[in-house]
């Protein structure tokens, strides 16, 4: 999936009529970083960078996250989507997060089923990314996301 992200991003940029410099300015990242991503030199960017690019290109963040490989394209997260390194407690926490039946709202407005699914897809990718980062962090080290 990683090799397909650069050409995908380039196609989106060109469809929107942006030059590399225009996208870089709109997204708040360097033009060299855009070029390296598109040419496959840099690989898949972090979710925060993808968010900036998606916002600048006016495309759904979840679509770009799927193309980048952060989100599975299956309708729901299944047992096989769980990373090998995940412990029983990790799986339990993940299941609780996804099965929480409280109404999801944004700005006080309940979300429809499609929006809830998209949010769960994003949360799935971010949950496992955060768990993996926490497992790599040694006790006493500062949080690398800070």
Q: Which residues contact 104 (CB under 8 A, 6 or more apart)?
A: 110, 111, 115, 116, 119
Distances (CA, A) of 33 to 39, 42, 62: 10, 8, 21
Residue 60's domain comprises 2-68
Asked, for residue 145, whether it belongs to a domain, the answer is no
DSSP state of 142: P
Band (pLDDT 50/70/90 cuts) for residue 80 is very low
- How many domains does the chain contain in total? 2
Rounded mean pLDDT of 5-13?
94
> What is the rounded distance in angstroms from the CA atom of residue 121 to the CA atom of residue 144?
23
What's the pLDDT tens digit per position in 10-31?
A: 999 999 999 999 999 999 999 9
Helical H segments across the chain, by residue range: 2-15, 20-27, 31-38, 47-57, 61-68, 88-99, 113-136
Whether pTM > 0.85 for this model: the answer is no
Asked, for residue 48, whether it belongs to a domain, the answer is yes
Distances (CA, A) of 84 to 91, 93, 111, 119, 132: 11, 15, 32, 23, 11
Same domain, 40 and 10: yes
pLDDT recorded at residue 101: 59
Same domain, 14 and 57: yes
């Amino acid at each position: 999936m990683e090799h397909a992200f650069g050409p995908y991003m380039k196609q989106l940029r060109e469809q929107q009529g942006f030059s590399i410099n225009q996208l870089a300015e709109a997204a708040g990242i360097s033009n060299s970083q855009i070029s390296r991503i598109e040419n496959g030199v840099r690989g898949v960017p972090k979710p925060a960078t993808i968010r900036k690019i998606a916002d600048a290109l006016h495309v759904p963040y979840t679509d770009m996250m799927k193309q980048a490989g952060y989100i599975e394209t299956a309708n729901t997260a299944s047992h096989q989507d769980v990373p090998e390194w995940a412990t029983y407690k990790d799986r339990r926490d993940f299941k609780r997060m996804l099965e929480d039946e409280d109404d999801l709202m944004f700005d006080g407005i309940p979300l429809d089923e499609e929006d809830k699914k998209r949010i769960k897809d994003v949360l799935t990718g971010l949950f496992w990314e955060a768990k993996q980062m926490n497992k790599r962090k040694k006790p006493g080290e500062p949080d690398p996301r800070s």
